């Protein structure tokens, strides 16, 4: 009987650790547990954002708490949704820490977006600004497509450098990850 009670108690703790609904305004940092290898969907306000892969099994957002920025996180199992709204227009910067092994879906209207130390699928769109993303070795990817409507596209691991209007490239390989990146107007740099 004790064994059954212990197992049920342990499972309930695991289930609670894998589900979270958080909404905070002006509080930093905001964090919750999140398993490595999961999918994270982000809607980010226009600003300067660094998305950084960490060894910790956490999803964490930090910024200067003097700003009334709203952070919403919803985690259910291996899926997470993160919304960052209300960013001021005064060179605001935020850091989003995710597990190193994460699949990312990111949308941001304008600003500077940096993605580093994250291994997994990436689907990232920035309408206006500068997108810098570490991708590592080209052979790690099954498919890569990158484009800019107006601006510069540099992807040194894939030996691509283009500038002007409607620049893009697509490449398939034997790796396991997929990357889709797009910048409307600005600069896209895959490193």
Whether residue 43 sits in one domain with residue 77 = yes
What pLDDT does residue 18 have? 61
Let me know if residue 73 belongs to a domain: yes
C-beta separation of 26 from 49 below 8 A? no
Q: Which of 52, 45, 43, 69 has the alpha carbon at shortest distance from 114?
A: 52
Let me know if residue 131 belongs to a domain: yes
Whether residue 131 sits in one domain with residue 93 = no
Question: Tens digits of per-residue pLDDT, 40-87?
Answer: 999 999 999 999 999 999 999 999 988 889 999 999 999 999 999 999
* pTM score, whole prediction: 0.88
Let me know if residue 7 belongs to a domain: no
Q: Which of 189, 22, 40 has the alpha carbon at shortest distance from 121?
A: 40
Q: Which of 190, 64, 58, 66 has the alpha carbon at shortest distance from 130?
A: 190
> Which is it for strands 70-76 and 79-85: parallel, antiparallel or unpaired?
antiparallel
The residue segments making up the domain with residue 162 are 121-191
Q: What would the two tokens of residue 57 be?
A: 């099994």
What pLDDT does residue 19 have? 80
Other CB atoms closer than 10 Å to residue 92's CB: what's the count?
18
Which segments of the chain have a pLDDT < 50? 1-17
Whether residue 81 sits in one domain with residue 27 = yes
Domain count of the fold of the chain: 2
Whether residue 34 sits in one domain with residue 87 = yes
Whether residue 66 sits in one domain with residue 127 = no
> Which is it for strands 47-54 and 93-99: parallel, antiparallel or unpaired?
parallel
Let me know if residue 151 belongs to a domain: yes
Question: Buried b vs exposed e over 111-121: b needs ≥16 C-beta within 10 Å?
Answer: bbbbbeebbbb
Please name the helix (run of DSSP H) or strand (run of DSSP E) that holds residue 2, with its range, or none: helix 2-17
Other CB atoms closer than 10 Å to residue 11's CB: what's the count?
10
Distance CA 173, CA 74 (A): 34
- Percentage of the chain beyond pLDDT 70 is 91
Other CB atoms closer than 10 Å to residue 76's CB: what's the count?
12
Let me know if residue 165 belongs to a domain: yes
Let me know if residue 3 belongs to a domain: no
Q: Which of 64, 65, 80, 93 has the alpha carbon at shortest distance from 20?
A: 80
> Which is it for strands 58-63 and 160-172: parallel, antiparallel or unpaired?
unpaired
Distance CA 70, CA 145 (A): 32
Let me know if residue 96 belongs to a domain: yes
What pLDDT does residue 65 have? 85
Distance CA 35, CA 79 (A): 9
Let me know if residue 116 belongs to a domain: no
């Amino acid at each position: 009987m004790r064994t059954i009670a212990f197992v049920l108690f342990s499972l309930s703790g695991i289930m609670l650790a894998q589900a979270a609904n958080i909404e905070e305004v002006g509080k930093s940092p905001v964090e919750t547990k999140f398993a490595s290898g999961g999918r994270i969907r982000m809607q980010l306000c226009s600003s300067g954002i660094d998305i950084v892969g960490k060894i910790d099994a956490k999803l964490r957002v930090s910024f200067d708490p003097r700003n009334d920025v709203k952070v919403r996180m919803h985690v259910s199992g291996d899926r997470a949704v993160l919304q960052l709204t209300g960013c001021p227009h005064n060179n605001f910067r935020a850091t989003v820490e995710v597990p190193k092994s994460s699949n990312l879906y990111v949308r941001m209207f304008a600003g500077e977006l940096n993605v580093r130390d994250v291994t997994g699928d990436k689907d990232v769109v920035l309408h206006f600004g500068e997108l810098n993303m570490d991708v590592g070795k080209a052979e790690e990817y099954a498919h890569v497509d990158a484009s800019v409507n107006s601006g510069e596209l540099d992807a040194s691991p894939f030996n691509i450098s283009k500038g002007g209007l409607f620049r893009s490239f697509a490449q398939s390989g034997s790796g396991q990850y997929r990357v889709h990146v797009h910048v409307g107007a600005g600069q896209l740099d895959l490193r």
